[in-house]
Every structure is written in structure tokens, then in C-alpha cells.
Amino acid sequence: MDSKVMDVLGDRVLELGPKAAEKPGESGPYRHFRLSQDSDGIAWLLFDRAGASANTLSADVIEELDLVLAALESQRPSGVVIRSAKTSGFIAGADVNEFRGAGDAGAVETAIGRAHVVIDRLEALRIPTVAVIHGFCLGGGLEVALACRSRIAIDGARFGFPEVMLGLHPGLGGTARFTRLVNPVQAMTLMLTGKTVDARRAKSLGLVDVVTQERHVRNAVKDAVFGRLKRAKPGVLNMILNASPARGFLGSRMRREAEKAAPHAHYPAPFALIDLWEKHGGGKAAMLAAEKTSFANLVVTPTAQNLIRVFFLREQMKKLAGGGNKIGHVHVIGAGAMGGDIAAWCANEGLRVTLADMKPEPIAGAIKRAADLFGKIIRKRTGVRDALDRLVPDMEGEGVRNADLIIEAVPEKLELKQKVYAGLEPKMKPGAILATNTSSIPLQDLRSGLERPERLVGLHFFNPVSRLQLVEVVSHDGSDQEILKQALAFVGAIDRLPLPVKSSPGFLVNRALTPYMLEAMVMLDEKIDKLTIDAAAKKFGMPMGPIELADQVGLDICLDVGDMLRSKFGDALPPTPAWLRDKVAKGELGRKTGKGFYVWKGGRADKGPAPEAQPTPEMTDRLILPMSNVCVAALREGIVDHADTVDGAMIFGTGYAPFRGGPLNYARSRGVEDVVSALRALAQKFGDRFTPDAGWDSFK
């Protein structure tokens, strides 16, 4: 049991429960809960899910909670406090494992109905109930808290409903209780976006009654139990906004906003939530009943099942990092867009970082971008200051001598990178790792000339570094396995997802993305409007079209990567149009120069009016299917070991339509035979670049 939690229990602890109190040192009558009573007659219910680092709500946990509530009803203490005994937080939400593979909406609704009965029983207790919340309080955890009469937050706690990220909405009564307690517009916004709020914001919303420090919890609990705590209560505005006319008007507006962010055809959950509130928000009982049905219908959709799969892909990739990070000081060479942002992210994650470049201007620009980033993602000013203190400009490059990890992020030129290595390798301390952020050059080429090639690894980050979670950890046939292990641990330590890949031109992600972007340029040659091309990809579910993506990446980088991959794969790639070289020669490189295929203003592409021509299914297949084809090839060649990590890499590194579960999962759901047949038809019409890879024969 957490010692801090024990400290607030007071001087006398009495066991409660359906059987006699256990002797000291025994586990108590429950598997997941500890129930005790202090000298004030207050029962303390500590949730400590067995065998887990974080509390989640599963069917057996809910069933045991029902037994606990029965004991409390018979014992009638002066009040009940629900706390977590986990240091990580209150409750992380439902046990997502129980949703995986669900196919029968009726069975899901029955199971959810049983859980509703228990949460309703908690709400109906005739004694004061208090949730004391530290750390995270998410999803089902917040629904438990909402069923309590009072909520006390420890400073630093965070609250939210992330269910929308799984293609769902709250399902344990949260939709009804949240929209009644809190301004329904604000409540709906939080549920529709999945965003979290801190304890102070939760207090201002009326979600919690008080924010306090751990040392004051006992007094706050006594105030809540004995009626001295001023509880947050819904205002008149809540009643007005929950009335039928307001719900109709606000629901229509919410749908329009939701459609912009996540089309109904791809992501039904936000629209189901809006429907639920608009139709049933006037009555709590009706909304609770409708919530069960709506939730059950969502769980069995392909979108929810694929997003649940993505959730587990993330967890699976986190485990690839292992543990035991030994990197404390990172030295980054090259303060451009990638190098500067890698340096900033490492500093944000608590590492000491020295940042070197040939000129002071790029370093100054990188520090400014870092300050902007820290201001957005770090809540406290002192935290921003500390992160900037960890990011040290280093014009002389002296940080190399003490760094545990050196990351080279200079332009994508083999000779330049090798020249950099020749200068820094003699300065590196024993045991230091040399990493390259190359996006396409094989490590076998980069390592020539190194005295110790075994300590060279690839750490390929994706742009923007602060948003895209993937880092390709690239090995070559002479890699030191211990260094690779350390590199994986470093990626995990900076809160990124590592993908182990073997060195090959383009590795996995760029090799798969390049035909996506080059095929779009071939379409431009065919006089297809760029807006129509981008619309074809977005209609499929990609976060942006290939033309806009090429501008984001930089047309010079697209050209370099395309040339590198064509030298290896030849006719397997679309041809590079001559006019692309002309655009690069003129300095029209995309977003970074303000002009590429689009004109860029304020970091956004100026697209003008919507295209007149509508994208066709053939356009979509020309863009999307080559990605699946390349992923199968990389799997067959052993560049990546597992199909699941291929899908995870494409989702977390490129934003590949998450609701489709990744390019290989999409091929499975569409049908491998159908995909191969479509590729053959495209090859016959457009050329050999669409020829199905031999790996499809054994792919399942």
C-alpha cells in the first residue's frame, strides 16, 4: 500500500468486509480493494488492482466493488473515501482488453448494464462518498468519481474522457452525469476531443470541489464527510443548455465542427455522443439507458476495433524500448528543422543537450522554436525555464567529448555526413553512441571510414518531432547489440515509440511513403488537379494528401529520397518528373520556403476553393495500395520482423488512417486477394511499379 495513502488514514484502522478482519500482514477480504475505518468512523476504500501497475476497471473489479458496496451499506460508516493505492494515479479507465474482439452488441450491452447497476449503487449510498484523486483520473475512473458526492483533487491530478480515441464515448454513466454537473458545452467538448484538464481547471469547471496537497487530504475529507466542504453545484446555465431547444441548436453546431476534425464515415463515435446528448440530455434516466445501447453499438464497429488494436500496438511498441536508459547527455550536430527539434524534445524530456552547428543563426532559430514548444507543452514557467537551461548552444562542438549519445542531423548528403564523422569520432568518449538521423541512406554506406562502425546506429525521427511518436532504430550487419539495446531504451526514455529496422534504403516508413508522394506527382503530369489528388487520400482517411505532405516534408528531401530509392528499386517506384528538379533548383521547396506545390502562409497551405472534380476509387488505390505493397516487401525481406509493428510504424510515423488499423490490417480487412487483383489491374494499366510483391503469397 502506498505510504502516503496510509499516512492520511489516521491513527486507527479497522477492517470492514463480508468476513472477519484479517490478521496483520494478510491480504484482507478482497483481491483488488482494501477497506478500513479510521477513528472518525470514515471508511477508506483503497483500490489496488492485483497484478497491475495502474488501476483499471474490469468485470471482476466491478463485481468485487459490488461486494464492497454491500458491506458499506450494512456497516453504515460516517462516510466513504475512495482512493487509489497506486502511485501512478486514481483509475486509468476501463480494461480495454475486455473490448477487444467484441462482435455482439447485445452481449456488450448486457455486460455494460451490470456495470451500470454497480456505479448506480455507489451513487445511491446513503452516506457521504468522497473520491480523493491523485495522478490520472480518466474514462471509467472519472465515471466512478462522478458517482461520488464529493471530489477532492490532489494538485497535479489530470481528468478526462479519452474514449473517443478508441472510437467510443463514455459508457458507465459519464455522459449523463458529466453534462449535468459541468456546463454541457464544456463537458461535451472534453468528451468529443479526448483532451485532459489539470486539477485547477477541473475546479474552475465545477468537476471537483477542492484542490489540495497530500498533507491536507485528511482535513479535506473530514470537511466533505461532515458537511463543511462547499460542493460544486450546477448553475442555472447548465439547466438552460441542457434544455431541448439549446441541445438542438448546439448539437447541430457540434456536428459541423466534428465533421471537420473527423468525418462521420470514418469516426462515428463523436456523432453518436452528440446524438445521445441531443436526444436524451433532458432526462438522466433516459440518457443512462440510451448510453448503454449507443456504447455497445460503437464497440462492435470496425472503427472501434481497429482503434483498440492501435491502442495495443502502441503498448506493444513501448515494450520494445525495454528499460535501463543510460543516456544523460545528448549532443546534436545540425540545428536545422530536424536537429533543432530533436534537441528540444530531448531537453523537454529531462536530458542535458548540447546543440552544435556551423553557424549561430540556425542555433538561435532552434532555441526560439524550443521556447515556443516548451511554452505550449509545459504548464509551469519554472518548467519552461529548466527545459531551456538543459538546451545548451554549442558553437564549438565541445559537447561531443562528454556526450553519451551524439545525434548527427546534417543534410542528406553521404559525403557531408562522413566528413562530420571523421571530425567527431576521435573526440567521442569510450562507450558513447554515434547515431544518424538519416531518412534514407543505408548505414552500410555511412559506416565506411569509421574506426568503430559497430557503434553507429540510425535514430530516424519524423517531422514534427514533438507530435509524431515513431523513431526508427536502424541496425546494420555489424551493429553492437548492446548499443542497439541502449538506443531502444533511449527512445523509450524520451517518450517515443521505437521501431527496430534493418538498414535498407528508406528503411520502412520513407520507403513506403515515397511511392505515395511520387505517384501523386505522376497524377499531376496527367493533369489531375492537386486538390483532387489530396482529396482522394483524405477521403481514405489520411491526415493530409500526398501533395501537401510533399510540401511539408520539403521537395528537396522528396527528390533526394526518391533518387536514393530509385537507385535501389528502379522501376518499382514511379518516375521522378523533370519539373520537380526544376522546382527544387528554383528554391520552391514547400512550407519551409513559403512556396512549393502550394503557397504557404502562417504555416498553412493556401488551397483556395474545393476541387470541382471528385476523386475516383482508382485514384485512391493508386495512392494507397503501393504503401501496403511496400510494407509486405519489407516484411518479406526481414527489414521489419512483425506485421503488427509495420502497422504501428505507419500509424505513429505517418498518421496512416488509424481507424483502418494500418496498411497491412487494411489489406486483411479488404481481402488480400482483392488487393492483389487491384494491384495487377493497376500494373496492366499504369506500369510495373504496381506489380504485387511476392510477399503477398505468404501473407495472412
In terms of Cβ atoms closer than 10 Å to its own Cβ (0-12, 13-18, 19+), residue 128 is buried
Of 141-150, 244-253, 596-605, give the range with the top mean pLDDT.
Answer: 141-150
pLDDT band at residue 431 under the 50/70/90 scheme: very high
Closest C-alpha among 108, 467, 85, 81 to residue 296: 108
pLDDT at 204 over 60: yes
What's the rounded mean pLDDT across residues 322-344? Answer: 95
Q: What tens digit of pLDDT does each residue of 382-419 get?
A: 999 999 999 999 999 999 999 999 999 998 889 999 99
Task: Name, in order, each residue with C-beta under 8 angstroms of 665's C-beta and a sequence gap of 6 or more.
Answer: 306, 309, 647
**Range name among 79-83, 352-356, 605-609 with the lowest pLDDT average:** 605-609
pLDDT at 375 over 80: yes
Task: Specify the length of the chain in residues.
Answer: 700
- Out of 64, 109, 163, 472, the active site residue is 163
pLDDT band at residue 17 under the 50/70/90 scheme: very low
pTM of the model: 0.90
pLDDT band at residue 4 under the 50/70/90 scheme: very low
| Three cell numbers written together for 261 | 476534425
Q: Please confirm, yes or no, whether 143 is among the known catalytic residues.
A: yes
Q: Where are the domains of the chain?
A: 3-300, 323-502, 510-697
pLDDT given at position 27: 47
Q: Please confirm, yes or no, whether 588 is among the known catalytic residues.
A: no
Q: What tens digit of pLDDT does each residue of 149-191 get?
A: 999 999 999 999 999 999 999 999 999 999 999 999 999 999 9
pLDDT given at position 21: 33
- Let me know if the fold of 3-300 is the same as that of 510-697: no
Alpha helix positions (H), 300-428: 302-320, 337-348, 360-377, 381-390, 414-424
What is the percent of the chain where pLDDT is above 90? 83
Closest C-alpha among 203, 169, 174, 119 to residue 273: 169
Report d(CA 699, CA 644) in Å as an integer. Answer: 12
521 Cα distance to chain centroid: 31
What's the rounded mean pLDDT across residues 3-29? Answer: 42
- Out of 43, 54, 71, 94, the active site residue is 94
Closest C-alpha among 376, 314, 318, 322 to residue 344: 376
Contact between residue 31 and residue 62 where contact means Cβ atoms under 8 Å apart: no
- 3-300 adopts what CATH topology? 2-enoyl-CoA Hydratase; Chain A, domain 1 (3.90.226)
pLDDT given at position 524: 94
pLDDT given at position 16: 41
pLDDT given at position 230: 87
pLDDT given at position 1: 41
pLDDT band at residue 436 under the 50/70/90 scheme: very high
- Domain 510-697 = CATH 1.10.1040.50: yes
Superfamily for the 323-502 domain: NAD(P)-binding Rossmann-like Domain (3.40.50.720)
pLDDT given at position 236: 87
**Range name among 127-136, 268-277, 582-591, 600-609 with the lowest pLDDT average:** 600-609
What's the rounded mean pLDDT across residues 306-329? Answer: 94
pLDDT band at residue 562 under the 50/70/90 scheme: confident
Q: Does 442 sit behind a cis peptide bond, omega within 30 degrees of 0 on the bond before it?
A: no
Torsion of CA 160, 290, 96, 496, to 10 degrees: -40
pLDDT given at position 700: 78
pLDDT at 23 over 90: no
- Out of 64, 109, 143, 291, the active site residue is 143
Q: Please confirm, yes or no, whether 94 is among the known catalytic residues.
A: yes
How many helices and strands, by DSSP H and E, does the chain display? Answer: 28, 21
Closest C-alpha among 195, 139, 164, 186 to residue 268: 164
**Range name among 5-9, 102-106, 432-436, 507-511 with the lowest pLDDT average:** 5-9
pLDDT given at position 8: 43
Residue with cell 460516517: 78
Report d(CA 245, CA 240) in Å as an integer. Answer: 9
| Three cell numbers written together for 406 | 551524439
pLDDT given at position 553: 86
pLDDT band at residue 449 under the 50/70/90 scheme: confident
DSSP 402: T
- Out of 135, 140, 545, 662, the active site residue is 140
The residues that bridge with 604 in the sheet, in sequence order, are 601
**Which residue type sits at 70?**
A
pLDDT given at position 13: 40
